[in-house]
Amino acid sequence: MVERRARYSPPWADMTIIGIAGGSGSGKSSVAMEIINSLNLPWVVILVMDSFYKTLTPEQNAIAHENEYDFDSPDAVDFDLLVDTLHSLKKGRKVEIPVYSFEKHQREDKTISLYSPHVVILEGILAFTDSRVADMVDIFVEADMDVCLGRRILRDVRDRGRTIDGVIKQWFKFVKPSYTRFVEPQRHISDIIIPRGIENRTAIDMVVKHIQRNLREKSEAHYLDLQRLGKQVEEQPLSTNVIIMEQTPQLVGINTILQNPHTEQVDFVFYFDRLACLMIERALDTIPFVPVTVTTPEQYIYHGLRPAGTVSAVAILRGGSCLETGLKRTIPDCITGRVLIQTNYRTGEPELHFLKLPRNINDHASVILLDPQMSSGGAALMAVRVLVDHGVDEGRIVFVTFAAGKRGLQRLTAVYPDVKVVVGRIEDEGESRWIEKRYFGC
Question: What letter would DSSP give residue 433?
Answer: P
Quick one: pLDDT at residue 183?
59
The residue extents of the domains of the chain are 16-220, 237-440
Of residues 196 and 420, the one with the higher pLDDT is 420
| Sign of the four-CA dihedral 123, 128, 132, 136 | positive
Closest CA to 398 of 414, 408, 410, 387: 387
Q: What is the pLDDT of residues 277-333, one digit of tens each?
A: 999 999 999 999 999 999 999 999 999 999 999 999 999 998 899 999 999 999 999
What distance in Å separates the CA atoms of residue 188 and residue 21, rounded to the nearest whole number?
12
Pick the range with the lowest mean pLDDT from 167-176, 255-264, 353-362, 408-417: 167-176
Task: Please compute the mean of the pLDDT values over residues 360-373 and round it to a whole number.
Answer: 94
Of residues 107 and 184, the one with the higher pLDDT is 107
**237-440 shares the fold of 16-220:** yes
pLDDT of 348 over the 70 cut: no
Which pTM was predicted?
A: 0.74
Query: pLDDT category, 1, cuts 50, 70, 90?
Result: very low
CB-count exposure of residue 394 (10 Å: 0-12, 13-18, 19+): middle
Task: Please compute the mean of the pLDDT values over residues 51-76 and round it to a whole number.
Answer: 82
Best-predicted range by mean pLDDT among 229-233, 409-413, 429-433? 409-413
Q: What is the pLDDT of residues 181-204, one digit of tens each?
A: 665 565 555 566 666 556 677 777
- What would the 3-class secondary structure string for 143-202 be? CCHHHHHHHHHHHHHHHCCCCHHHHHHHHHHHHHHHHHHHHHHHHHHCCEEEECHHHCHH
Topology of domain 16-220, per CATH? Answer: Rossmann fold (3.40.50)
Quick one: pLDDT at residue 109?
86
Quick one: pLDDT at residue 179?
61
pLDDT of 439 over the 70 cut: yes
What distance in Å separates the CA atoms of residue 328 and residue 319, rounded to the nearest whole number?
16
CATH number of the 237-440 domain: 3.40.50.2020
Task: Please compute the mean of the pLDDT values over residues 261-285 and round it to a whole number.
Answer: 94
Quick one: pLDDT at residue 2?
42
- The answer to whether residues 414 and 232 touch, using CB atoms and an 8 Å cutoff, is yes
Pick the range with the lowest mean pLDDT from 9-13, 121-125, 315-319, 358-362: 9-13
Query: pLDDT category, 140, cuts 50, 70, 90?
Result: low
Instruction: Name the percent of the chain lying above pLDDT 70.
Output: 83
Task: Please compute the mean of the pLDDT values over residues 5-26 and round it to a whole number.
Answer: 74
Of residues 164 and 373, the one with the higher pLDDT is 373
Query: pLDDT category, 25, cuts 50, 70, 90?
Result: low
Q: What is the CA radius of gyration of the chain?
A: 27
